[in-house]
A and B are shown apart, each in its own frame.
Chain A
């Protein structure tokens, strides 16, 4: 038969008569590991070219190479390659976990230092470089007000935009809008800050302030809403699409107009999902530093009025304390960072829990 001759010519045994294979025993892997790390230690300390970190790195590389060679001999090159790639993929996970664990550990260990009542009750007003106390009360106020106003602006706009895309949008214009919503999610936050700076702070705000540009928490809220808008449109759009068609058809069949169907049936059905999306957008906005720095200016004192005068925010507080020369500043920065992360993570986790209980997405 022609196929058999082809195989014979190629010299490749396509159909192995023996389906058995030798597996690399665990002992050999361990032996390879011991030899690899021993060799690495000998090289590194023998030549005096580094410390234990280099031993670990070099040992790991030697181990992977040794494992590949050993497996090639015993199991064949295909199985060895499979094994090596698996090791590399597992290594990638370990490698990524190390810095992230360090971030979490530092955040908690350094953050608890000033995690006291004073920190949450006082501002930085009249706190000099030699003062150990001082807090983030003003910054927390700023974050809450700015994010709150930004949400009030972005949510109606975003939900309406999503309604347009799902319920009314057809043709080229809708596709363009959809495309640019996606593109807009990638606009850097500093650009959003510069936009509000040039539009609101430098051009609009002088009208209300005797011709002088004025920083304000509201301007920060505007910038944050620019960042939140595409996220909200996108998540709401996805939720609206999950609302079953028959639900709508049922309403149409009863003669309910489309706008009423949307408001009374579609939106309530999708509401849990929409809330999830909004919470994720809020979490992201709360962590933004750059726009607040550019348009709210930052402040040391408490300012409850978002429409008048400088404000700070938690993220900006972290940034400013990080740049402060006082020896007490790092502790304040880390505690504020811990507070910020806690706020953001609570929002994110709550949003995800809500999503998990959402009947539409399940």
Chain B
């Protein structure tokens, strides 16, 4: 069935929505960041899977492999960059959470709002 033949898109969509749900629904700031990370990882998978060619080898120029198909290396390179961006975002986000904990004494979103309202 074609619907399940493209299963990696399903993985992408389900992971994406799992992460997005956590970002929206969770009150704990760390859990929000975890959701954000899952959200980003889903997109990494979308890129990685698109570059794979069935039976494809590594894109290295060699006489033995000259007539073999090879996988597209570009998406992997792109995602290498995107992973770095994701790590930086995560590090900065966790740093902000630490500072919030220092200032407010809590990392629950509604408690922070409660404190600010006073």
**A complexed with B:** no
